[in-house]
A and B are shown apart, each in its own frame.
Chain A
Amino acid sequence: MSQAFLLVGSPKGTKSSSRVLGGYLMSKLAAGGMAVGEMSVGRALHSEEEMGRLLAEVEAAEIIVVAFPLYVDQLPAPLVGALETIAEKRTAATERGSEAEARPRQKILAIVNCGFPESFQNEPAVATMRQFAKQAGFHWAGGLALGMGGAVSAKPLEKLGGRVRNVVKALDLTAEALLRDADVPDEAKELMAKPLIPKRLYYVFANLGWKRQARKHGVHGQLRARPYA
């Protein structure tokens, strides 16, 4: 069982920017001497056995990191489903009394990324994670919210150069804090919220990127198609 456990909430699992961000933080915790583990939500929902493993890891961990992309202003549906199951199990244990009394303080934190340039668009999702922590009996250690997630595009942070320097610093500061049993520092939240590149540039690149991808698939002229009109 792990001391620090990463739950990857992206449907893309290990090939996601969420995994890159969460994985980097876990590597720093591992370097600080913590036993770390991880699982994607997709895998947990694959079978009852895997869900059982997720529940056991969550019960055993001192620190739980939930990393996910913003889907329609919120957590992706499979992650909501997994959190519903975790909260249900923990609430039932609290009602029984014994397990909950024996449970040590467990920290939970969130790393949210969205494709919009403004990191504040993640706010409802961070608030939802905070509410989940309260309802499921975790100590809320804070949320790191990143805009322009498309600029990370599931590549290792080490290969992205200077544009992710604030992201790296935010995760480094968070790891240092967690290793001394503190919560996510405000400075880390502020650094993570900074734009990776100028907003106008991101806007132009993103719009060009969609057109380029459509051209690659031979549908450039149909991008505005209305099949259900």
Chain B
Amino acid sequence: MNVLILDGGSGNGRGGACRKLKEAALSEVRARGWNAAAFDLDKMNIKPCRGCFACWVKHPGVCAIQDDEADILKATVAADIRLMLTPVTFGGYGSALKKALDRSIPILLPFFIRVGGEVHHPQRYDGTRKILAVGTLPQPDPEAERIFHHLVCRNALNMASLQTETRIFYEEAGEEEARQVIREILPAAEVVP
């Protein structure tokens, strides 16, 4: 089982909670004998997507920008589970995680297909995947939490996720609570098609 951990904790003071979650995830994943590939996105050289679609029509599957995102894409393709950690930012993802996600479109095909009555892009690579996401907040915010859960579910649809789990982690909580959240969502990995 290959687990990709995208730590989108930002350098603006809200990154501590994501770090706690990442450490908990690494520990829980290794305890199960699975492989983990973790990326601290804020420290990586990932330039913004230009929206040029060269990864679809010029050199299919490869982004026009050569930087650290290529390592993330390789790990994404190999992953059975994608775990995204991010400060909930206006209900959405923080800019560090979003930058990496914007650059992930080379793993999709350009064509349109219908999924559940809506139009989406097919996956470039075979295999099943599960999308897990934990968003952090300084304190409860029902509206931001609702937007976050909805967003992850929309993403999961576009990523053809077999099983999707989202949780909110309050930033003051400790390492044991972080471990608990990770233990709650990891069983999704065992779901089979």
Contact = CB atoms under 8 A, between A and B. Distances in A.
Interface of A: 10-12, 16, 69, 71-78, 80-81, 83-84, 87-88, 116-118, 121, 123-125, 127-129, 131-132, 134-135, 199, 203, 206-207, 210, 213-214, 216-217, 219, 222-229
Given A11-B51, A128-B90, A75 B98 contact: yes
Contacts of A222: 60
A71 B125 contact: no
Given A210-B110, A219-B59, A203 B151 contact: no
Contact of B109 (A72, A84, A87, A224): A224
Interface residues of B, number: 49
B99 A77 contact: yes
B172 to A, nearest CB: 18
12 contacts: A12-B51, A72-B104, A73-B151, A75-B98, A77-B48, A124-B150, A129-B90, A131-B90, A131-B143, A134-B143, A219-B60, A228-B78
Contacts of B119: 116-118, 199, 203
Given A124-B154, A132-B90, A226 B118 contact: no
B57 A76 contact: no
A55 to B, nearest CB: 16
A155 B147 CA distance: 32
Contact of A80 (B78, B93, B143): B93
Contacts of B99: 77
Interface string B100-133: 0110110101111000001110001100000000
Contacts of A78: 48, 95
Given A80-B89, A131-B144, A206-B112, A225 B118 contact: no
Nearest to A80: B95
